[in-house]
Amino acid sequence: MTAACHRREVEKKDIVQNCRHYHCKRQDAGSAMTEKIDMEAADTAMVESEQDSRRSADSSERAYNTIRQLLVEFKLKPDARLNEVQLSRSLGVSRTPIREALNRLASEGFVSLTPNRGFFVRSLSTEGLIDLYELRSIIECAAFRLMCERAVDADIGRLTAYWASIVDGYQDNPPDEILAKDEGFHLMIAELSGNPELVNQLAAINARIRFIRRIQIERTHDPRQVSSHSEIVAAAVRRDAERGMKLLRDHIEMSVSATQDALKDALLKVYTAPDPAAPARGRRRVKGG
């Protein structure tokens, strides 16, 4: 073989090797590109899934808060069956968030679930209200005892300062404001017990009796409410658990004794108010002139 022929063979081998190397690089680049696209698609899917989950959670929370407020104020009639389709349309969400909200409200005692029939608004009865007041008394007495045992002087000072800040003109406030301040006072005692479960349970009970308590306040401004709060604070300062617990029982008993009369007003208010969940009805057209 001549030198020229040998040189051509070497060049040919180099070209073939370069082509193979180039082809391998193309394949590697293609694989890398495919992998990159797959990763980007996966990332996009994950982001979209998280966004869908957040939207669903937001819808469920919004449905829960709206329906709960209607139930707290008994703007949905006692013992009425809840129409999920109607609620879905009224709130502008799908039925899934509605169902999630109703299940949550059932666990809190605002609605009941009957198999094969659906969800129903809780009843409004003397017996049911007295049950809740009894539970409230048990929780508040336990909270007061724990507060006396666990709270430091600065904590008791907070309770004293809170009551001092609201006592002047307490009975002159609108019913809603009196109710809010009263709930704040009793919740502070629960908070100072150092037991968050007592706080949660008391807050849940307050929500379920708020409607009837507002009516009780509207019916009569009992001056004993102010004096009993002041005595409860004095017992807390002395860390006299037994005295404080008796005062709380007597304080709550005042509400229980007024339940029957307040319930009559409550039922009248409930059954004469328009139903916010009912579909709007257009004005009927009159035939003729």
Q: Is the pLDDT of residue 164 over 60?
A: yes
Least confident of 100-114, 245-259, 270-284: 270-284
Tens of pLDDT, residue by residue over 89-101, are: 999 999 999 999 9
**Backbone φ and ψ of 144, nearest 5°:** -65, -45
Kindly state the greatest CA–CA separation across the chain: 125
Q: Which residues of 225-244 are buried (b: 16+ CB within 10 A; e: fewer)?
A: beebbebbbebbeeeebebb
Tens of pLDDT, residue by residue over 25-51, are: 555 555 555 556 656 655 555 555 555
- Residue in 117, 122, 85 with CA at minimum distance from that of residue 210: 122
- Residue in 273, 276, 275 with CA at minimum distance from that of residue 91: 276
Architecture label for domain 1-123: Orthogonal Bundle (1.10)
Mean pLDDT confidence for 217-231: 83
What residue spans define the domains of the chain? 1-123, 126-272
**Cα(154)–Cα(151) distance, rounded to whole angstroms?**
8
Q: Give the CATH fold of the 126-272 domain.
A: Four Helix Bundle (Hemerythrin (Met), subunit A) (1.20.120)
DSSP string, 217-268: HHH---THHHHHHHHHHHHHHHT-HHHHHHHHHHHHHHHHHTHHHHHHHHHH
